[in-house]
Amino acid sequence: MIESVLKLIFQVIFILLIAPIFTGVIKKIKAKVQHRIGASVFQPYYDLMKLFKKDLVVSSTASWIYNLAPYMYFVTSLVAMSCLPVVHQLTGFTFFTDLLIIVYLFVTGRIFMALAGLDTGSTFGGMGSSREMLVSALVEPALFLIIITVSARAGVASTNVSSIYEFAVNHTETAFTPINILLFASMLMILIAETSRIPVDDPSTHLELTMVHEAMVLEYSGRQLAFIELGTYLKQLVFMTFMANILIPIGFNIENIFLSLGIYLLKILVITILVALVELNTVKLRLYSIPNFAAIAFIVSVLGFLTCFILK
């Protein structure tokens, strides 16, 4: 029990330290391709430190929901990330965790943020909340189908994390099979949608009519905004970890923990580069085109689901 707690503490500290840097890498890659110097890859850390030092500016109409939402969003993202061990040596505390729990944790954090967007009475906050809930509702069917597929492929009648991980690490040859490639492509699209990145949303925009996630958090400042940003970094890392460890389980079960962590970071870096390349080669979709994007993600996941049974 003590060993499991120590493993959990180590992973929490580790993911909190590395989560922001991947957003910095995405921005740096985009800057280099566009022939700009760009900010340092450590800029997200500087931004977080700056926000933690700033005072709060809170609307006079805001209630307790507005003040609680950033912390709920951060905690749910952190707990969700803790459900997925990053390397084999840290699997001891995931015995009772479930992939569906991760989805429900994200739903809980999203509901609080949507309510907070409405709480201040801001027109743009309400618009962002409704759009955020719409996007999540559109991509969740594909996410659930991916979870069902990896569970069925593992031959277990549940979505228990340990069972799915055990199959993945014992069948590393499945990393580049048609099933995993299809599920990986669908998961990449879900990652982009859930983390509000181009082409679904532009996290750097300040044009109100095109904002989705940013419109929802427009009223926040100071440490509350810092917790929201950190929660978003963690949420992004959850999807990347799922892709890296379940869909590309190469190097997960290496005995040397430092080598295993290095391979994990390398896989996350490759996924980060893919996200940056998608952003560089696409433009932000119109709101009415987002359902088409979600439909493509769902169709690809359906193909992965069908392939799973065809190849059995």
Q: Of 140, 134, 139, 137, nearest to 288 (Cα)? A: 134
Which range has the worst mean pLDDT, 3-17, 81-95, 144-158?
Answer: 81-95
pLDDT digits (tens, 9 = 90+) for 131-186: 889 999 999 999 999 999 998 888 776 788 888 888 887 877 777 888 989 999 99
Residues 232, 214 contacting (CB under 8 angstroms): no
Q: What is the pLDDT of residue 312?
A: 61
The full DSSP string for 151-174 is HHHHT-SS-BHHHHHHHHHH-GGG
Q: What is the pLDDT of residue 95?
A: 55
The predicted model gives 296-305 an average pLDDT of: 94
> What residue has token string 């990449």?
188
In the predicted model, is pLDDT for residue 275 greater than 90? yes
Q: Of 79, 261, 91, nearest to 170 (Cα)? A: 91
The predicted model gives 275-280 an average pLDDT of: 92
How many Cβ atoms are within 10 Å of 68's Cβ, its own excluded? 14
In the predicted model, is pLDDT for residue 13 greater than 70? yes
Distance (Å, whole) CA 68 – CA 224: 9
Q: Of 166, 159, 66, 156, nearest to 104 (Cα)? A: 159
Is this model's pTM higher than 0.95 or not? no
pLDDT band at 258 (very low <50, low <70, confident <90, very high): confident
pLDDT band at 209 (very low <50, low <70, confident <90, very high): low
User: Whole domain around residue 67: which residue ranges?
Assistant: 2-310
How many structural domains is the chain composed of?
1
Burial class (CB in 10 A: 0-12, 13-18, 19+), 123: exposed
Which range has the worst mean pLDDT, 56-65, 66-75, 134-143, 210-219?
Answer: 210-219
Percent of the chain past pLDDT 90, that is, above it, reads: 47
Q: What is the pLDDT of residue 20?
A: 94
Q: What is the pLDDT of residue 105?
A: 93
The predicted model gives 274-278 an average pLDDT of: 93
Q: Kindly give the residue spans of alpha helices, DSSP state H, lying in 56-122.
A: 64-82, 99-119
pLDDT digits (tens, 9 = 90+) for 16-42: 999 999 999 999 999 999 888 888 999
Q: What is the pLDDT of residue 154?
A: 80
Task: Output 59 or 112, whichever has higher pLDDT.
Answer: 112
Q: What is the pLDDT of residue 92?
A: 62
In the predicted model, is pLDDT for residue 1 greater than 70? no
Of the ranges 102-106, 129-133, 255-259, the best mean pLDDT one: 102-106
Structure tokens, 108: 């809980």
The predicted model gives 52-58 an average pLDDT of: 89
Give residue 38's region: left, alpha or beta (phi > 0; psi -120 to 50).
left
Output the average pLDDT for the chain.
87
Distance (Å, whole) CA 142 – CA 156: 20
